[in-house]
């Protein structure tokens, strides 16, 4: 059985994730550990202190922050601590 409230939460969170990314990118960048931590903490604070659409915005912001951290790690953004691969399969540090 489909729960319409859960579907609504998923859709609004996905939309707010894109909006949060576009709004915050010019100010803090994207796909770097610093922007990721700032967005994740900001999202957490919004989620824990909000209801309704603001809570969905907080989830979207937090998801974007975690994505920034993950992308940074996967592309070797932590000083080459974790290498990544380019499109030709070569290790990029």
**Taking Cα atoms as reference points, which of 66, 65, 42 lies closest to residue 54?**
42
Q: Is the pTM above the cut of 0.85?
A: no
For residue 13, give the 3-state DSSP assignment.
helix
Q: Supply the pLDDT for residue 16.
A: 94
Tokens standing for residue 4:
């319409």
Q: What is the pLDDT of residue 74?
A: 74
User: Could you tell me which of 5, 93, 1, 9 has the C-alpha nearest to residue 57?
Assistant: 9
Report the sign of the C-alpha dihedral through residues 91, 68, 15, 51, in that order: positive
Domain ranges of the chain: 4-92
Please list the pLDDT of the chain residue by residue as tens digits (93 residues): 788 989 999 999 999 999 999 999 899 888 888 999 999 999 999 999 999 899 999 999 999 999 988 888 777 655 556 566 666 767 665
Q: Give the integer Cα–Cα distance in Å for 38 and 60.
A: 13
């Amino acid at each position: 059985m489909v729960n319409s409230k859960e579907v609504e939460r998923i859709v609004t969170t996905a939309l707010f994730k894109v909006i949060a990314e576009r709004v915050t990118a010019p100010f803090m960048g994207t796909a770097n550990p610093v922007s990721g931590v700032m967005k994740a903490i900001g999202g957490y604070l919004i989620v824990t202190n909000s209801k309704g659409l603001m809570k969905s915005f907080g989830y979207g912001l937090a998801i974007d922050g975690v994505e920034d951290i993950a992308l940074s790690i996967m592309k070797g953004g932590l000083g080459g601590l974790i290498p990544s691969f380019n499109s030709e399969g070569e290790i990029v540090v």
